[in-house]
């Protein structure tokens, strides 16, 4: 495996401005990821399908919505109308026929509300209401020992998973629906869900939300320190919307507290690092930070600009797609919507906040050599090196598409997010060779150690697994 640098219209003697990067990101979104006819590509490879359902597609709708909010005029309106025409049509979901995943309609409800805010067509609002009702009015999810939060799958009382993807989006969808329909019941539902989420998913020490709770019908147990960018971003936005709708100040304080707590997920250079491989989307966090920044929050503004300045170097020159790791190298493998939405959203946000500021001048990954790993499937593994950055590559979803991960220690310490390397999770439903699985950087070069260990198995992430093929060390 070798690192390849490709020519780009953005290449110049000086780093690109955020205005240039934002325009480029919009072009990548609308000409690469958008397939036409109201459908998003799941990845930038001819073999990948296209559609307009669930969080990968919905995150790209979110990026498009962000760009429209920040001054794209009516140029994007035809795409929104096309997306509206292909939005999923949900009906009631009642026992015994219902077998839907609960998070999918809630992601789609929020996306339909984004569309409605641009087109103002009642059809999009009805789609959002139907998607929301498919879960909120169902009798198969609100069960178990903590029925105030929903199972991801119907009738899952025997050890089933409850994911904040469902409840966070349900909270946001409910308050947005309340504001657009003036229905008080939506607002009441949003407040009840919000309080239940803070009881079951919030880490009170960190102020961040873990994403998983297991409910076996007798007790509910969170899986700690799984801090998805998506659900934390959705919870920040939901709290801001609740503050606006109710005039209750605590919601705004809690939104800012979670946003500022995101710094705990940074690498040693203060750059946000998402360990979720392909089981997360970062666009909701960027949009939430943008809302705070536009409201005068200095931390949120700095977070966007600092991350955008670095993420510019995680952009692939050939097609403008971004890698998952903002402080990592540009992707050499197939790039999926799950991986790229965050970088696209980040550069568009930075382009609005500081159009004339520029990306970081140095791009150390571009010249760093790639080393083949001869025996990458054993645990534990220890990598000792001297450098300022380290990355690991392998086949994402090698045993497709869920169970198998490794615990990660960086210089002897486990990161705040304890996902480690969850190599077998491929939301794209396929094995993706050459995927960047981990990247981390330090302010200066020095001796470091990365260690991978077996960890306790759980029903969502599985047991020990890793199979690494290459490593990159920056000087």
For residue 9, the model assigns a pLDDT of 56
Range of the domain at 273: 18-363
Positive or negative: CA dihedral 33, 236, 273, 16: positive
Q: Decide: helix, strand or coil at residue 250.
A: helix
Reading the block at residue 370, the tokens are: 């790639």
For residue 104, the model assigns a pLDDT of 98
Q: Could you tell me if 425 and 400 lie in one domain?
A: yes
Q: Could you tell me if 382 and 332 lie in one domain?
A: no
Q: Give the domain-ending residue among 328, 345, 363.
A: 363
Beta bridge pairs of residue 246? none
Q: Could you tell me if 347 and 257 lie in one domain?
A: yes
Q: Give the domain-ending residue among 363, 394, 424.
A: 363
Tens digit of pLDDT at every position of the chain (475 positions): 222 222 345 755 689 999 999 999 999 999 999 999 999 999 999 899 999 999 999 999 999 999 999 988 889 999 999 999 999 999 999 988 888 999 999 999 999 999 999 999 999 999 999 999 999 999 999 999 999 999 999 977 667 999 999 999 999 999 999 999 999 999 999 999 999 999 999 999 999 999 999 999 999 999 999 999 999 999 999 999 999 999 999 999 999 999 999 999 999 999 999 998 789 999 999 999 999 999 999 999 999 999 999 999 999 999 999 999 999 999 999 999 999 999 999 999 999 999 999 999 999 999 899 999 977 899 999 999 999 999 999 999 999 999 999 999 999 999 999 999 999 999 999 999 999 999 999 999 999 999 999 999 999 999 999 999 999 999 9
For residue 8, the model assigns a pLDDT of 46
* Domain assignment of residue 5, yes or no: no
Q: Could you tell me if 163 and 266 lie in one domain?
A: yes
* Domain assignment of residue 12, yes or no: no
Q: Could you tell me if 270 and 417 lie in one domain?
A: no
The count of other CB atoms within 10 Å of the CB of residue 94 is 13
Q: What is the CATH number of the domain that holds 61?
A: 1.50.10.20
- Nearest partner of 44 among 348, 394, 321, 324, judged by Cα: 321
* Domain assignment of residue 85, yes or no: yes
Rounded CA-CA distance 24/332 in Å is 19
Reading the block at residue 468, the tokens are: 């690494």
Q: Which residues of 360-397 are buried (b: 16+ CB within 10 A; e: fewer)?
A: eeebbbeebebeebeebeeeebebebebbbbbbbbbbb
Q: Could you tell me if 374 and 333 lie in one domain?
A: no
Helix/strand number for the chain, H first, E second: 12, 13
Q: Could you tell me if 257 and 334 lie in one domain?
A: yes
Cα-flanking dihedrals φ and ψ of residue 7, to 5°?
-70, 150
């Amino acid at each position: 495996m070798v690192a390849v640098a490709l020519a780009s219209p953005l290449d110049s003697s000086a780093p690109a401005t955020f205005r240039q990067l934002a325009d480029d990101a919009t072009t990548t979104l609308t000409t690469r990821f958008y397939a036409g006819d109201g459908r998003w590509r799941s990845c930038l490879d001819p073999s990948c399908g296209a559609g307009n359902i669930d969080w990968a597609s919905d995150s790209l709708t979110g990026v498009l919505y962000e760009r429209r909010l920040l001054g794209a005029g009516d140029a994007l309106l035809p795409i929104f109308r096309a997306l509206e025409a292909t939005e999923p049509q949900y009906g009631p979901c009642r026992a015994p026929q219902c077998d839907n995943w609960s998070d999918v309609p809630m992601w789609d409800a929020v996306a339909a509300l984004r569309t409605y805010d641009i087109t103002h067509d009642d059809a999009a609002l009805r789609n959002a209401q139907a998607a929301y009702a498919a879960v909120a009015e169902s009798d198969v999810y609100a069960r178990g020992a903590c029925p105030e939060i929903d199972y991801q799958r119907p009738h899952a009382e025997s050890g089933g998973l409850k994911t904040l993807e469902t409840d966070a989006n349900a909270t946001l969808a409910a308050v947005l629906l309340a504001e657009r329909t003036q229905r008080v019941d939506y607002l009441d539902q949003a407040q009840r869900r919000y309080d239940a989420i803070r009881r079951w998913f919030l880490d009170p020490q960190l102020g961040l939300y873990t994403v998983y709770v297991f409910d076996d019908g007798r007790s509910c147990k969170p899986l700690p320190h799984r801090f998805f960018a998506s659900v934390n971003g959705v919870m920040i936005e939901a709290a801001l919307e609740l503050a606006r709708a109710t005039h209750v100040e605590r919601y705004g304080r809690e939104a800012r507290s979670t946003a500022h707590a995101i710094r705990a997920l940074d690498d040693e250079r203060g750059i946000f690092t998402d360990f979720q491989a392909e089981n997360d989307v970062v666009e909701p966090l960027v949009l939430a930070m943008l809302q705070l920044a536009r409201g005068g929050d200095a931390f949120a503004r700095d977070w966007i600009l600092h991350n955008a300045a670095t993420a510019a170097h995680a952009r692939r020159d050939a097609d403008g797609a971004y890698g998952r790791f903002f402080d990592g190298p540009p992707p050499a493998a197939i790039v999926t919507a799950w991986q790229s939405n965050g970088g696209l959203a980040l550069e568009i946000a930075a382009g609005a906040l500081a159009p004339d500021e520029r990306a970081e001048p140095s791009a150390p990954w571009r010249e760093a050599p790639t080393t083949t790993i001869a025996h990458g499937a054993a645990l534990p593994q220890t990598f000792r090196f001297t450098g300022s950055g380290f990355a690991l590559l392998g086949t994402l979803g090698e045993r497709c598409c869920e169970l198998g991960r490794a615990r990660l220690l960086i210089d002897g310490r486990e990161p705040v997010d304890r996902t480690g390397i969850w190599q077998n999770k491929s939301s794209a439903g396929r094995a993706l060779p050459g995927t960047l699985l981990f990247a981390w950087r330090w302010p200066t070069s020095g001796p470091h150690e990365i260690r991978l260990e077996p960890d306790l198995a759980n029903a969502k992430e599985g047991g020990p697994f890793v199979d690494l093929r290459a490593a990159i060390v920056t000087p």
